[in-house]
Amino acid sequence: MRSRYSAFSVGDSDYLRRTWHPATRPAGTGVDRRTRWTGLEVLETARGGPFDTEGTVRFRAHYVERGRRGRMEENSKFVRVEGDWVYVGTV
């Protein structure tokens, strides 16, 4: 989760595509250069340990867009694909 937040922060769409499950990956990654991500709070996690094949992360991300502060909150689902964690979507 933190690595995907960092990828959004620096505009690394290649990394976002690689860490998005192929079944749910959109055509675009949603990276918007006008959005400046300013902080991440991980609020809750469930599963996602070394022996799990899926897990969820509830987080709040803070940003500034067009001079206005905002935040988004999401409960994200991740699964392992060939040993790597990939984002599936929201729960």
pLDDT tens digits along 19-51: 999 999 999 887 898 999 999 999 999 999 999
Question: What pLDDT is attached to residue 26?
Answer: 93
Q: What's this model's pTM, rounded to 2 decimal places?
A: 0.91
* Average pLDDT of every residue of the chain: 95
**2-90 CATH pick, 1.10.760.10, 3.10.20.30, 3.10.450.50, 3.40.50.620:** 3.10.450.50
Question: What pLDDT is attached to residue 72?
Answer: 97
Q: Among residues 39, 26, 9, which one has the least CA distance to residue 87?
A: 26
pLDDT mean over 63-73: 97
DSSP 55: E
